Structure 1
Amino acid sequence: MSKTKIPEKTKLRLWVKAGGRCEYKGCNEPLWQDALTLSKMNAAYIAHIVADSPNGPRGDEQLSEQLASDINNLMLMCDEHHRLIDKEDVEGHPVERLREMKNSHEIRIEMVTSIGEDMQSHVLFYGANVGEHSSPLNWNDTTCAMLPNKYPAEKPAIGLSLGNSSFRDDQDLYWKIESEHLKNQFNDKVKRRLELNDIHHLSVFALAPQPLLIFLGTLISDIYSTDVYQLHREPRTWKWQNEPDDFEYIVHEPTTVYKKVALNLSLSGNIDNSRITNVLGTDTSIWTITVPSPYVDFLKGENQLREFRVVLRKLFNKIKLVHGQENQLHIFPATPVAAAIELGRVWMPKADLPILIYDENKKVGGFHYAFSVGENSLQQFSAT
């Protein structure tokens, strides 16, 4: 039990530096309200790293008295973790470990609270059923990836998902319902606010079949300032990871120019060209964007995503030049989420060929047509 009366100014400074939250690593519990009832109250305890008594937890004959009221020796904590470090597991919480917790927490609070108003971003969620799996998006898991460059302008996120849908992506009706719903939701919740200048920046988090992700990208376009995030599997996080220095995309051009043209996006997996000609026929020119070793978690950093946009923009122009501007482009994607959305954002409805998007599903025997996008309208098309 502390025997030191800590000055009120020091307590106030500690509250500010801690952001009013428990400084124990991984807790971050708000201490201005009851966790169950949400009643406003002071639920904080002030813990000493070096006890204010030589006989206390982590006490020291000289330092205990010197640091008794020193803010650098004090931590704001909830009742559970205050008891843990001072009574239940003193040996497991040496001075060095607690100082690291305090420093890490207070640096994070300082970083977050120093973000200017011009770094606001509206969070956009879009999830749709992928096979038998739904795609829930969690606020805490996603928005932490925005920091320190951006922070949420409002809570909750703008949601575009079709809730409790019973349709699955092996059903033809699924694509019509999901795409129409997505378009309507985007127009109602996002486009209008963008046009009114109520939204200045978007942070996009999405989990859905790739044709719908591409379509979402076409709705957002590259007119509006947008950051698109990728869910990484190892480690499982939305935060961008370190990327390889020598990374590059590889473009394969067709050897024969046919009227019919397709784009093979072998990024998160390999798509053999035979799987495309099985759908479109052998009289198809196939252009390919790939990487040295395609796999589901290859996209690690923002620079890789930025370079993908550059490569794709150049390729769209070249395909139109080679195959004619009255043509249409069949797209077969095996791409990460963020790349699929950016494909849609890069595509320009007035300048690029209309795109026909395909989805791979084992239940229907491989790739099948989902829908088309072109001339500002969603069109139905039969590939056979």
Structure 2
Amino acid sequence: MSKTPIPEKVKIRLWGKAAGRCQYEGCNKPLWYDSTTKSEFNSAYIAHIVADSPDGPRGDKQRSELLSKDIKNLMLMCDTHHRLIDRDQVKEHPEELLLGMKKRHEEKMEMLTSLTEEKQSTVLLYGANIGQNGSNVSMEKAVYAMLPEKYPAEKTGMELGFEGSMFNDKEQLYWTMEAENLRRQFKGKVLPRIEAGINHMSIFALAPQPLLIELGRLLSDIQAADVYQLHREPSDWKWQETPEEFDYVVIPPDTKTNTVALNLSLSGTIDNSRIRDVLGNDVSIWTLTIENPYNDFLKSKEQLRSFREVFRKLMDQIKSNHGHKNELHLFPAAPVSIAIEIGRAWMPKADLPLRIYDENNGFSHVWSIE
């Protein structure tokens, strides 16, 4: 244990940097009250990374005395982790490891305590079964993805979707139930909050693409919002850097007919023959794609923003070429965030009505929006 009295001003600075919580990685225990009795008292220990005596844990003949009162060498800790690093597992806790813990904790606390009101965002979580797989969208992962640009306005998000639904997207009843549930929950939970004046929303959703497009349509682009994407590598929702030399590609149809379709080949490739199997050979197929479609291509907010721009221009181009009284058959293979943005970017009255298809052993029409 420490033999050196720590100056009061150093203790206060350390408490501030640690935000009154244990700095051991993964602990974060508040040290100003007892979580069981809720009694408020100081339960903190100040631990030396390099001991204040040469024969102490991680002690050094020259550096121990020099660092004994240096805040860079001190950590705020709970009793359990103070004992762990100084008694039970000294060798497992070398100086470099503890310095890293201290640095990460203090940087996180500095970031969290610098958040201002304009960075508040209301979190919306939506999940629906995809095939045989359920959907679990967690608040914890959402918060990690938002920081430091935004932080949640409340401890819990607005959750939409059926809890423990036994339906799957092979059943027609699934689409009827899920769509109606989404619309009713949106009307009951989300719309009143928007009308009350939410400044910003953060959207996290996992569901079949037609449902995500419907969610986007309900939200529209009037409400300020960030839509997030679940990545496979690494497995989180946090936006990454934009890949180099990335661009979307629009391929116009070879012929102009009365029936028009949009092939959205982004997370996978949809062969045009599969669209003709549904609509017949007399169809004009526009394609919006990338150089190498695959299911984890969307990494950055910039890629999502760019998609909105390309999609809006394409909607105008298709309407101009095929007439304002037509309808557009949409065949999507797209990331979840893009599916939501399709619904947000689509403009009622200005754009052609959408007939939306879902792939399940072949494409089938699910519903239309107009």
TM-score normalized with structure 1 length? 0.91
Distance 2:368 2:130 in 1: 19
Q: 1:21: which partner in 2?
A: 21
Q: 2:283: which partner in 1?
A: 284
Q: Deviations over 1:187-239 (max 9, x none)?
A: 22122221221x11000001111110111111111111100011111111111
Instruction: Verify: 1:367 aligned to 2:363, yes or no.
Output: yes
Instruction: Verify: 1:184 aligned to 2:180, yes or no.
Output: no
Q: CA deviation at 1:83?
A: 2.9
Instruction: Verify: 1:233 aligned to 2:232, yes or no.
Output: yes
- Counterpart amino acid of residue 217 in structure 2: T
Q: CA deviation at 1:284?
A: 1.4
Distance 2:365 2:34 in 1: 53
Distance 1:230 1:35 in 2: 36
> What are the equivalent positions in structure 2 for 1:294-373 lying under 5 Å apart?
294-361=293-360, 365-373=361-369
> What are the equivalent positions in structure 2 for 1:85-100 lying under 5 Å apart?
85-100=85-100
The worse-fitting range, judged by mean Cα deviation, of 47-56 and 60-69 is 60-69
- Counterpart amino acid of residue 218 in structure 2: L
Q: 1:377: which partner in 2?
A: none
**Aligned to 1:206, what secondary structure does the other structure show?**
strand
- Counterpart amino acid of residue 169 in structure 2: D
Q: 2:150: which partner in 1?
A: 150
Distance 1:287 1:30 in 2: 57
> What are the equivalent positions in structure 2 for 1:1-384 lying under 5 Å apart?
1-34=1-34, 42-197=42-197, 199-361=198-360, 365-374=361-370
Q: CA deviation at 1:41?
A: 5.6
Distance 1:213 1:35 in 2: 41
Give RMSD over aligned pairs: 1.8
Q: Deviations over 1:247-272 (max 9, x none)?
A: 00111110111111111111111111
Distance 1:175 1:63, change over 3 A: same
Q: Deviations over 1:269-289 (max 9, x none)?
A: 111111111111111111111
Q: Deviations over 1:5-25 (max 9, x none)?
A: 334443333222112332223
Distance 1:330 1:39 in 2: 63
Distance 1:74 1:29 in 2: 17
Distance 2:86 2:77 in 1: 11
Q: Deviations over 1:105-159 (max 9, x none)?
A: 1112111211111110000000001111111111111211111110100121011
Distance 1:4 1:142 in 2: 43
Q: CA deviation at 1:42?
A: 4.5
- Between the two proteins, what is the percent identity of the paired residues? 60
Distance 2:337 2:303 in 1: 11
**Aligned to 1:232, what secondary structure does the other structure show?**
coil
- Counterpart amino acid of residue 355 in structure 2: L
Q: Deviations over 1:270-322 (max 9, x none)?
A: 11111111111111111111111111110011111111111100000001111
Distance 1:139 1:45, change over 3 A: farther
Q: CA deviation at 1:184?
A: 1.4
Distance 1:33 1:277 in 2: 67
Distance 1:41 1:277, change over 3 A: farther
Q: Deviations over 1:28-49 (max 9, x none)?
A: 3444455677765644332111
Distance 2:227 2:38 in 1: 34
Distance 1:183 1:41 in 2: 49
- Counterpart amino acid of residue 270 in structure 2: I
Distance 2:34 2:129 in 1: 37
Distance 1:355 1:241 in 2: 31
Distance 1:300 1:125 in 2: 20
Q: How many residues matched? A: 370
The worse-fitting range, judged by mean Cα deviation, of 320-329 and 75-84 is 75-84
- Counterpart amino acid of residue 134 in structure 2: S
Distance 2:117 2:107 in 1: 19
TM-score normalized with structure 2 length? 0.95
**Aligned to 2:368, what secondary structure does the other structure show?**
strand
**Aligned to 1:2, what secondary structure does the other structure show?**
coil
Distance 1:170 1:32 in 2: 54
- Counterpart amino acid of residue 364 in structure 2: H
- Counterpart amino acid of residue 135 in structure 2: S
Distance 2:349 2:297 in 1: 32
Distance 1:213 1:41 in 2: 49
Q: Which runs of 5+ in 1 are unaligned?
A: 375-384
